Amino acid sequence: MKICVAVCSPDYYAYTPTLQCRQNCQPQYKYYANQTCIISCPVSSNLSTNLYMDNTTYSCRNKCLPTWYADNSTGYCVQTCSSTLFADNSTGLCVNKCPSTPDYYGYNKVCYFPCPKQVSPNLPLFAENVTRTCLTQCPSGGFADSFNWRCVAVCTGIQFNYFGPPPVCVSVCPSPLYG
């Protein structure tokens, strides 16, 4: 006997176009939330309550699966964030700028702590606080501190400001300079 129900049974999804309960959602309505087949996940003005489309399970999730990141610009769970965003492991989100808590820095579309030591054998990376990125050369006015692997305004401790090029912190000034 078939009966009309307000909610489909546990292994079925409400399919609005035909007002039927189905075991699978159809291609155009391939995502589901609250046991209902939908075209896309609902979007909220409050980003903390957004649901993201998961193309592996076709479900709407408030948090993506591990190693996947929620991309607010697309509404999808992605393995690689879009070109201007960084994957933040601390939040599971694609972000414009890596967070200062925890102390993360962006490089190659991922937030790291600390920055990877080098891009190639002779090209180290330095953490830059303003942009929260890992750079091979510090911005104008900054010095590359290879003791702390950071860009600094002034070298500290036993290090000297060497204006280079490139500007770096050194423990011994290069000849013919004196410290």
Alpha-carbon span 102 to 90, nearest angstrom? 7
Residue 97 is predicted with a pLDDT of 95
How does pLDDT run across 5-42, given as a tens digit for each residue?
888 898 888 888 888 998 888 777 777 778 888 888 87
Mean pLDDT of 103-121: 88
Alpha-carbon span 76 to 66, nearest angstrom? 14
Which of 85, 88, 38, 40 lies closest to 68 in space, CA to CA?
88
Phi, then psi, of 130 in degrees rounded to 5: -70, -50
Residue 36 is predicted with a pLDDT of 85
Q: Which two structure tokens, joined as six digits, stand for 118? A: 């080098």
Distance set, CA 117 to CA 103, 124, 127, 134, 140 (Å): 16, 6, 10, 10, 21
Indicate whether 48 pLDDT > 70.
Answer: no
